[in-house]
Each structure stands twice: as structure tokens, then as C-alpha cells.
């Protein structure tokens, strides 16, 4: 996430702007939309079970999430 230049608060991402997201264990528990996304123009938050090496799909927006190892 990027910081807002005006007040150093995190800048939220547009929800459902991409079709595929790579996430790490630090992002768990996984939800769509993610905590770093605006909620006002998105679907209800849904938690997605995921394990290492798996890809899951959001039942609302069909975005896919892949759990990758953090560097």
C-alpha cells in the first residue's frame, strides 16, 4: 500500500480493479475486498480459505487470489 503524501495515511486501493492478486501469509486471514480496499463501492466482505500453493476465487467478483511465499 502506498502512503498518502498529504498525511502519511495509507492510500486505499480501488476494489475489484484487478482479476488476480498474489497474497502472502501476512495478508491472512484473506478477505475480498481486502482491508486495503475501499468498501463503499464493492460487494460485501467475504473471507476466503486458502493454503500455500492454492488459488481461490471470490464468489462475488471472480477475482482470484494466490498464496505465495513471502520473500
State residue 30 phi and psi, 5-degree precision.
-85, 130
What is the rounded CA–CA span in Å between residue 1 and residue 11? 6
Query: Could you tell me the three cell numbers for 38?
Result: 475501499
Q: Are 58 and 48 in contact (CB under 8 A)?
A: yes
pLDDT digits (tens, 9 = 90+) for 5-20: 455 666 776 656 668 9
What is the rounded CA–CA span in Å between residue 7 and residue 59? 35
What is the rounded CA–CA span in Å between residue 23 and residue 37? 14
Residues of the chain under the 70 pLDDT cut? 1-10, 13-18, 71
Amino acid at each position: 500500500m502506498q502512503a498518502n503524501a498529504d498525511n502519511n495515511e495509507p492510500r486505499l486501493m480501488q476494489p475489484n480493479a484487478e482479476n488476480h492478486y498474489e497474497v502472502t501469509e501476512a495478508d491472512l486471514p484473506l478477505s475480498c475486498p481486502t482491508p486495503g480496499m475501499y468498501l463503499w463501492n464493492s460487494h460485501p466482505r467475504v473471507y476466503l480459505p486458502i493454503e500455500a500453493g492454492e488459488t481461490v476465487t471470490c464468489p462475488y467478483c471472480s477475482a482470484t487470489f494466490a498464496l505465495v511465499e513471502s520473500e
